Chain A
Amino acid sequence: MKFANLFRKELKELLTPSTIITTIVMMFVLVFAGNAFGGIIEDSVEQMSVMTICDKDQSQISKDLIKQLTISEVDEETGAVISYDDSLVKLVDIQSEDYAKELERLDVNNAIIIPEGFGDALLNGKECEIISISKMSSSATLSNISLNDSAVESIRQIAKTLYIANKGISLEDIAKSETLVTVSPITIVADKSAPVSSTLISSLTSMQSMFVPIVVYVLIMFSSQLIMTAISTEKIDKTLETLLSAPVSRLSVLLAKMLAAGTVAAFNAIAYMIGFSQMMGSMTSELPSGIDADKYLSELGLTLSFSGYILLGLQLFVTVLITLSVSLVLGALAKDAKSAQSLLMPIIFMAIIPYILSMVMDLKELNPILRIIVYAIPFTHTFTAAENIMFSNMGIFWGGFAYQCILLVICMAVAVKIFTTDRIFTVTLNFGGKKRAKKNKTLSENE
């Protein structure tokens, strides 16, 4: 009985409404993320099921090769083709070498060009080249699922079979067939292109999409915790009352706090930018294979210019200011240290949702309703800022920045309103402790 009594008490202490709310919200976040991921994967799979091919060769070999790519069903026992599905291959005509424009005109993200002379070269056992073009619109992991790699592999296999079928089966021919088809990769970002594999570029940008959000998340949480602890401690210790009864205006007290917090935010933003530029430098230095990744990233516009860094730093600064002003208000309304901790929840959720989503998917590809919800979270624009600058999505960047600036003004106005009125002493927020807060408020009002 004594143990049960102790257990009940401990459980009550731990299982507060705030912990229950946190768990439920986290569950919804995961469900929401799952649905969003599902949608993106579905779209990618749909796109992946169609290969876009431009046959400039128009030889029997290239036609046979494309025909082989349309095989949809094979007898497992005999290996005989049961059916073909022409919709598996989309034949297009790529007229110019401005591949960015061509892909945009064709409304596709990937294409393979079989150049003129491909068939002859294959029949003569000479090296034959195909061009694999991939367009990247985001550095998020799921957005770069491309069909080209598997298509190229299929072409290699089919070309090998066709070569052997034409030349007869000798060990020399089989060995030669392995190296016949070479791939000339082209990666496109916005209106720029570079002769480099999209897989390589994707892996480099994925590193950014993994690391950058971590840094942003830590920065938001650090700033939030910093100011919330400071202000709630000041209120709980009643040093705020002492300060506000001194011959200084309340606006000065608030401005001093915001300015100090802003200075810390600026310091954080600068430190972040230095770290980020160093990280980018290390990531894009020459790779062991001799590929100058820095050059290609630069050609594709995937490195930040000085003005890019300035824009990124500016947005980060505004983000931290929003965090600080929201935290300042929440901290000022905290009843006690425990409730101050609970009040961090909204900040955590506002940071963790875009953090997870932006890391794995291109938010532009979300369905409109989900996109509005995610873009309404102010920190979303910070998590996607670097990517938007690099991928030339400047409309989205500036829209997000303007939205954040408006929010900042609103948050500051609320902070001023609370600090310059009785609310700073009479209103308390206490997630999960309504009854206790109500009781405490009544007591404090009557004192």
Chain B
Amino acid sequence: MSENVLEVKGLSKMYKKGVYAAHDVTFNIKKGEIFALIGPNGAGKTTTIRMISTLLTATEGDAVVAGHSILTDAAKVRENITYLPDEAGAYKTMKGIDYLDFMAKLYAPDKNHAKEYVERAKEICGLGDRLFDKIESYSRGMIRKLLLSRAVMSRPALAILDEPTSGLDILNALEIRRMIKKLAADEGMSFLLSSHNMLEIEFVSDRVGIIAKGNLLEIGTPEELKAKHNAKNLEEVFEGMVKNSEIC
């Protein structure tokens, strides 16, 4: 088995004839690596992520997750990933703990593992006794923490997080970024993130892919990209690329 947890090769999605939402996207993610796709709204980040999550079928190309192709072995791919959609909610009438239990039972091979997943999620989310309250009473930050803990509780080979901190206040966003970094560093989990918040990505990611109009334009570490474009931060890198290629 290759060292890469995810290998994306020429992945494309065409909705209308000749109009690509994602075109020839190629990248890979190593074990324990945090890889981020950044780009403006409508760049093709979510389409790419949805294809890797097996929610959408690819028009061309393939992605291999932990040795399983999204085209031929989608069920196995789903066993090795978790996906947290942008601005996702949870079942409001459920209690937080029941939601974790429900999701754990979908991922766990047996009851004992499900129990273990729930315990782990309880620890990660840090919601304490509030887990026994209904989700409808949660703040946005609490829901995001609950969902993030759900996404990592089963220790997936790859956790896919779409805009993990969107809509959160600074403190909650910081907490979630630290959580992601810790899980990657301590437990060797791999992450595929998407965001249009360049500063967040610079802080949390090992490598970054800049995507626009469905095309993956550049890949590198934040430092490499900054050096290459002679910029102080990723925002300046992105701004420079926009000016050069009119990608917005």
Contact = CB atoms under 8 A, between A and B. Distances in A.
A290 to B, nearest CB: 54
A244 interface: yes
Interface stretch (A106-114, A151-159, A234-242, A356-364): A234-242
A30 B81 CA distance: 55
Contacts of B83: 241-242, 245
B91 A425 contact: no
A419 to B, nearest CB: 12
B217 interface: no
Contact of B44 (A238, A246, A247, A447): A447
Interface stretch (B45-53, B121-129, B166-174, B230-238): B45-53
B54 interface: yes
B215 to A, nearest CB: 12
A242 B45 contact: no
Contact of B55 (A237, A239, A244, A248): A244
A446 B213 CA distance: 8
B75 interface: yes
Interface in B61-120: 75, 78-79, 81-92, 103, 106-107
A422 B56 contact: yes
A245 to B, nearest CB: 4
B197 interface: no
Contacts of B192: none
B142 interface: no
B90 A249 contact: no
A446 B57 contact: no
A241 B85 CA distance: 7
B107 A446 contact: no
Contacts of A425: 50, 55-56
B42 interface: yes
Contact of A241 (B43, B44, B88): B88
Interface residues of A, number: 21
A443 B75 CA distance: 29
Nearest to B53: A245
B137 interface: no
Nearest to A245: B83
A422 B103 CA distance: 23
With most chain B CB atoms within 10 A of its CB, the pick from A237, A246, A247 is A247
A447 B42 contact: yes
B88 A249 contact: no
Given A422-B57, A445-B47, A247 B85 contact: no
Nearest to A422: B56
Interface in A426-447: 426, 443-447
Given A238-B89, A425-B55, A246 B103 contact: yes
A246 B42 CA distance: 25
B79 A242 contact: no
B193 interface: no
Nearest to B78: A247
Interface of A: 237-239, 241-249, 421-422, 425-426, 443-447
7 contacts: A241-B53, A242-B103, A245-B55, A246-B82, A247-B78, A248-B78, A447-B21
Interface of B: 15, 21, 41-47, 50, 53-57, 75, 78-79, 81-92, 103, 106-107, 147, 160, 214
